[in-house]
Amino acid sequence: MKAFAFVFPGQGSQSVGMLDAWGDHPAVRATLQEASDALGEDIGRLIHEGPKEALALTTNTQPVMLVAGVAAWRVWKAEGGPDPIAVAGHSLGEYTALVAAGALTLAQAAPLVRFRAQAMQQAVPVGAGAMAAILGLEAEAVRAGCAEAQAQFAPGSGEVVEAVNFNDPVQTVIAGSKAAVDKACELLKARGAKRALPLPVSAPFHSSLMQPAAEALRQRLATVPLQAPTIPVVNNIDVAVQSDPQRIRDALVRQAAGPVRWVEVVQALRARGAQAIIECGPGKVLLGLTRRIDPQVAAAALFDPASLGEVKTLLAA
């Protein structure tokens, strides 16, 4: 079998009924029950029925994506799938990766990511922040455009724009205050960006404006007992593998107000010997990013019974 890594998606891949294809699989049923007990609500019903608007609320999106990723992971293990050589997750998905690696239980992680979502939402008033995806420009050009845009505002104005998600070689997400993000979009299009797409999000995630959320998360994480992962987890903020629980906590805190270095994460998984990278959970966002970052890697997505069979075939080839 090929050496492989699993990666777990974050916000944006959620959809109503995203676990329905698994039917009444015992691993999925147990996952939904564990998460529902931890959150004090029927999370399975929320995922099955929605509505879409409810799933799109950050305070719901983060727990449901965690649960859906863990469910797919547990099906993989229940169906005889071996452990990957390493795991990683995009933003919120890093928490899913830590559950898969045994550093956190799902019962710990579900309330934790809901707290994270609430802290992020409260850090910046709705409408005051923004995010946009910049397509067709290299990351350094996006960084330079953000610096130029921010420099057009008076020092101390509170206007901020930063590159926060390095998703593939020519797709970088920027975030910050709305006026500064709008200015950066204008400048970056003039610099040759193919598109500057405003994202339908309620807060400027991973920007320095999230520092209040990071501090709230630091206090909450101090109360959560973590274990050393049994599978290496490549984190977003440092592109590093940590085994010490305190270092893991610190990386999660800094991740909330720091960039997701996804291009480097995929490169790090490859450097660790992964011949295949499998997205585990709903959607195919990370699958697309993986193929654009490294066209040579074998890549697939695991999200339903049919794709489970396809992944096993790919890894056995």
| Beta carbons within 10 angstroms of residue 108's beta carbon | 17
48 is catalytic: no
Contact 168, 289 (CB under 8 A): yes
Residues in the chain: 317
Q: Which is the catalytic residue, given 13, 90, 177, 206?
A: 206
Read off the tokens for 177.
């205050």
Long-range contacts of 301-309 (CB under 8 A, 24+ apart): 302/6, 302/72, 302/76, 302/278, 303/18, 303/21, 303/72, 303/279, 304/21, 304/22, 305/21, 305/22, 305/23, 306/21, 308/75, 308/76, 308/79
Q: Which is the catalytic residue, given 91, 177, 207, 307?
A: 91
CA distances from 289 to 147, 172, 220, 315, 317 (A): 26, 11, 32, 19, 23
Which residues is 279 bridged to in the sheet? 7, 301
206 is catalytic: yes
Cite the active site residues.
91, 206
